[in-house]
Amino acid sequence: VTLDRYKQLPDSLPLRYIWVNLPGYYLEVWDHDTLVIHSKVIVGKHDTRTPVLTSLITDMVTYPQWTIPESIIKKDILPALKKDPGYLARKGFNLVDAKGDVVNPFTINWAKYSKGIPWKVMQGSGDDNALGILKFNFNNPYSVYLHDTNQRYLFGNSKRALSHGCVRVQKWQELAFYIARNDSLNKTEQQHLSYTTDSIKTWLANKDRKRIIVKNRLPLFIEYTTCEARKDKLVFYEDIYNDDQML
């Protein structure tokens, strides 16, 4: 089954790329056949699985805000609001209308909503934000991204299918600095970089919210392979989404 999945990959991989193996709970960065970063990750739960995809890292955001996806609003937040409109404040969330104004949840009759709500639910940036203090964006139709987390203790778990679909990266800082160095080393004469590793450190230290455009977009492969060769041995991982079983 895994060999069949490998057949769906390009005939040759890029010189530099990020590889995430969901059942293996890890992220790797490869540069000219050299492994430069190996990091634990937390992936989606069985009910909110992380999708298999291929994309490119487009930008990074320091101290990001989190706009909560509609799927989470329907499943978790709306039922909680029906019981207690104070739920948002306890979680550090804001209800925001189309103009960007904050709405008082106590002024709304939540009982009349069942399939969704006409407002956004947002979590402000900061150390308590579910995205942590840095996220990595890439184009995809699933509203998922790589990011830090405010629950870093969960990397100590052996089973880490715990998220709503995004990939939480333990070594997010190393990944950000690698992307910055890669941008600096490979920029063309026409490209102007508005950031360095030092500026990222400064923005994080000052808790500034910055969107950093990545000029040399790093390819990203999020894959589902339940066995692989590691140090000349075959290693097997748990079929966390039952995909192998289905096949």
Residues with catalytic roles? 147, 166
Structure tokens belonging to residue 12: 């040759």
Question: How many other CB atoms are there within 10 angstroms of residue 162's CB atom?
Answer: 16
**What dihedral angle (degrees, nearest 10) is formed by the CA atoms of 42, 43, 46, 47?**
110
Q: Residue-wise over 98-117: b if at least 16 C-beta within 10 A, else e?
A: eeeeeeebeebebeebeeeb
Question: What values do phi and psi take at 172, rounded to 5?
Answer: -60, -35
- Classify residue 70 as exposed, middle or buried by CB count within 10 Å of its CB (0-12, 13-18, 19+): middle
d(CA 49, CA 161): 8
Residues 6 or more apart whose CB falls under 8 angstroms from that of 216 comprise: 182, 183, 186, 187
Q: What is the CA radius of gyration of the chain?
A: 20
The one-letter amino acid code at 127 reads: D
